[in-house]
Amino acid sequence: MKNGLAAFVVGYIFALGLGLSGMTQPQKVIGFLNLFGTWDPSLIFVMVGAILVHFVTYKIIRKKKSPLFSSHWHVPTKKEITPALVVGSALFGVGWGLAGYCPGPVVASLASFEEGPFLFFVSMIAGMFLFRELDKRLKLTK
């Protein structure tokens, strides 16, 4: 129960931050990524703020023996750069640049009940299922 409540509170705060920062507005994101057109640099403040908060809190939190709601830290151990990682990252970037959404902001945008976020979300879920099926057949990941 504690984990579920903690996840809800953290997710709610994250969604509020996405909304307040403008990350749920595709045109703002596309404007930020449009370096050679009408560039909107305002999302730099979002990135710098996130980096600063992460940098400070990570140093403090990692000094503890374990997180609040788990017996151990869940830190990624893989460090190699694989073709699947590169292709996946490129697809993510292209999709983000074309649509102006990435997974977190699109989930928060579902609360708007607009068609665009819903279509993106459904397409994203369909892509995940499609990749899982392709991966079973082609063994793209280990």
Residue range 71-127, pLDDT digits in tens: 888 888 888 998 888 888 998 888 888 888 989 999 999 999 999 999 999 999 998
Please enumerate in sequence order all residues whose Cβ is within 8 A of that of 103, keeping only pairs 6 or more positions apart, or say none: 124
Chain segment 36-62, per-residue pLDDT in tens: 988 999 999 999 999 999 999 999 998
How far is the C-alpha of 66 from the C-alpha of 37, rounded, in Å?
Answer: 47
Q: Helix-strand-coil percent breakdown of the chain, rounded to 5?
A: 70, 0, 30
Mean pLDDT for 17-25 is 90
What pLDDT is stored for residue 48 in this prediction? 94
Mean pLDDT for 4-10 is 90
Q: Where are the domains of the chain?
A: 2-137
Structure tokens at 42: 């305002």
Nearest-10 Cα torsion for 93, 99, 105, 108: -150
- For the entire predicted model, the pTM comes to 0.74
